[in-house]
Amino acid sequence: MENLNQSIEEKFDAAIIGAGNGGLVAATQLALENKKIILFEQHNLPGGFATSFKRGRFEFEASLHELCDYGPESNKGGIYKLFDELGIDIPMVKVPEAYRLILTDPEEKLDIIVPFGVENYINTIIRIDPESETSVKKFISLLKEVHEALNYIRESKGNADKKVLMSEYGNFLRTAAYSLDDVLEALDVSETAQKIIKGYWVYLAIPTDRINFTIYAAMLYFFLIRGAFIPRYRSSGYTMALENRIRDLGGRVEYNTKVEKINVKDGKVIGLETSNGDKIQTNYVISNASPTLVYNDLINPKSERPEIGYKFVNARRHAVSCLVIYLGLNKSADELGLNEYSYVISDNMDTNQIYESFNTLEHPKVQATICLNNAIPDCSPEGTCILSITSFFRPEAWKDVKKNEYFALKDKIAIELIKMFESATNTKISDYIEEMEVATPETYVRYTGSYNGVTYGYEVDSWDSTLPRLMRMNEERFIDGLKICGGFSFQGVSYTNSLLSGQITALLTLQDMMNGGDTDE
């Protein structure tokens, strides 16, 4: 930690707010280009949600379940290439299966292990529902076209030819404004096949009749062709590697430092100020904090806050937050009969009904649970295992909880979710809990400073998904020199998108630097 007892008054090429996934990558990319940068983080360690913590004998992953665009050496994905370009080498482990989907409603009962690999995935669905073969194959073919179209757009670096898109990727354009449900219905995909296909909806956590098809298609196809990977030594392994890389490249990182003002003059960034009294001169600020926080609280003076930017940002709908139960069990996964890494457990696949349950302080009707040992066998001491149960709430559901009710409430919900897991998997884990920690939306407010504890950015409805955001990027530059990265950026939610957004935002900032030259007054 630098300059612990004195404030900083210096000029930098760029300042980055927040050492989350996007902020760390943006800072590293700019430092690679020999830019003088400074990164401010209000916490005492990097990573934001991408970190780990210890309780007793166990080290828990704070929130990462898996990365969908990493891939092995033979099929390198975007994150694999990103880490390589940034100069960090992170040991990664492949997740064994996509997920085990368990629906417990007697009328919709289903228990199926869904594999990675396009052919394996198709064959698994057909085995359960033979009549779905034609429609499922059409669906997968459409996923492939979306994937190839997005690759073309990325490779064109903002100069995609509309004629090429229309001639070679027509279905990509035709489906861009539709939801996942719209496309499944149009292809006449059977009800059973739809339930299996929708398993990954928990990684977006809005009803499938609102999930933008393009986003879901890209995510699912990445999982199918590349599998899923997790860091061998938790996500703090790569966030610490990025932090070290920034310092090695001459960048500066300041912890326990909250940015309080982004100073603006005549519509242009001129610097920022922090809680430690730092006064930074810069014409470029990249924020990993949400635009809502930036435009509501940080723009200084308020007269420089563009009304259109303020209104636009506040028109977006914040996505869900999480409740996570971290369990250190004093029995091994084998002894407990926990054979899968990833479990999606739900009453049914009525995603609107489930989403509505996120508004009440009862246990939600869905959970996404992982047993870390089934990907990393030695992640906990011999004869033990680590289980994390994740469910969801609208952040506002917790805002009126009284202090004297908080701990009893979160423990009650946690116990109900544990019972839900035990019933669905026919296992008994509650008798073997050695360590238990429960995080709520309130926890995430304190831990990361995330706006209202939101963990999923802005909801990705079709009107506000990746493609509309990309098309509006130039229009959303409300203040010269200010850009957003991370889970609230144009890329949308997910670790993968947050990481990639950091690089893209840094490259766009470099482009502005080259085009604008020295913008000092």
- Look up the pTM and report it: 0.93
In a domain, 384, yes or no: yes
Note the pLDDT of residue 521: 38
3-state helix, strand, coil in the chain (%, to 5): 45, 20, 35
State the average pLDDT over residues 175-179.
91
- Residue at which a domain ends, from 174, 204, 228: 228
* 472 pLDDT tier (thresholds 50, 70, 90): low
The number of distinct structural domains making up the chain is: 3
pLDDT at 397 > cutoff 60? yes
Q: Same structural domain for residues 373 and 403?
A: yes
pLDDT for 113-131, tens place per residue? 999 999 999 999 999 999 9
Note the Cα 314 to chain centre separation in Å: 20
Specify the CATH number for the domain of residue 443. Answer: 3.30.519
CA-to-CA distance for 359 and 380, rounded, in angstroms?
35
Q: Same structural domain for residues 442 and 348?
A: yes
In a domain, 59, yes or no: no
Pairing of strands 229-231, 99-103: unpaired
State the average pLDDT over residues 201-209.
94
CA dist list (Å): 489 to 210, 292, 505: 19, 11, 9
In a domain, 95, yes or no: no
State the average pLDDT over residues 453-475.
75
Specify the CATH number for the domain of residue 479. Answer: 3.50.50.60
- Residue at which a domain ends, from 434, 451, 468: 451
pLDDT at 3 > cutoff 70? no
Note the pLDDT of residue 519: 43
pLDDT at 375 > cutoff 80? yes
Note the pLDDT of residue 46: 94
pLDDT for 43-97, tens place per residue? 999 999 999 999 999 999 999 999 999 988 888 988 999 999 999 999 999 999 9
* 4 pLDDT tier (thresholds 50, 70, 90): low
Note the pLDDT of residue 474: 66
CA-to-CA distance for 232 and 94, rounded, in angstroms?
9
Work out whether the CA dihedral 457, 460, 466, 467 comes out positive or negative: negative
Average confidence score pLDDT of the chain? 92
Q: Which residue has the higher pLDDT, 465 or 138?
A: 138
Note the pLDDT of residue 520: 43
In a domain, 306, yes or no: yes
State the average pLDDT over residues 177-202.
96
Q: Same structural domain for residues 355 and 414?
A: yes
pLDDT at 160 > cutoff 90? no
Q: Rounded to 10 degrees, what is the CA torsion of 152, 154, 158, 162?
A: 20
In a domain, 156, yes or no: yes
Q: Same structural domain for residues 18 and 133?
A: no
pLDDT for 262-282, tens place per residue? 999 999 999 999 999 999 999
CA-to-CA distance for 417 and 419, rounded, in angstroms?
5
pLDDT for 131-154, tens place per residue? 999 999 999 999 999 999 888 877
Q: Same structural domain for residues 440 and 486?
A: no
Q: Same structural domain for residues 336 and 421?
A: yes
In a domain, 334, yes or no: yes
Q: Same structural domain for residues 196 and 247?
A: no
Q: Same structural domain for residues 192 and 241?
A: no
pLDDT at 517 > cutoff 70? no
In a domain, 422, yes or no: yes
What does DSSP assign to residue 67?
B
In a domain, 291, yes or no: yes
pLDDT at 253 > cutoff 60? yes
Note the pLDDT of residue 489: 79
Note the pLDDT of residue 229: 96
pLDDT at 451 > cutoff 90? no
Q: Is the separation of the CB atoms in 503 and 31 below 8 Å?
A: no
- The DSSP code sequence of 406-449 is HHHHHHHHHHHHHHHHHHHHT---GGGEEEEEEE-HHHHHHHH-
Q: Same structural domain for residues 217 and 244?
A: no
Residue 274 in tokens: 């922090």
Structural domain range at position 432: 320-451
- Residue at which a domain ends, from 451, 475, 492: 451
pLDDT at 492 > cutoff 80? no
pLDDT at 1 > cutoff 50? no
State the average pLDDT over residues 513-521.
63
Q: Same structural domain for residues 375 and 286?
A: no
Q: Same structural domain for residues 325 and 446?
A: yes
Q: Same structural domain for residues 374 and 411?
A: yes
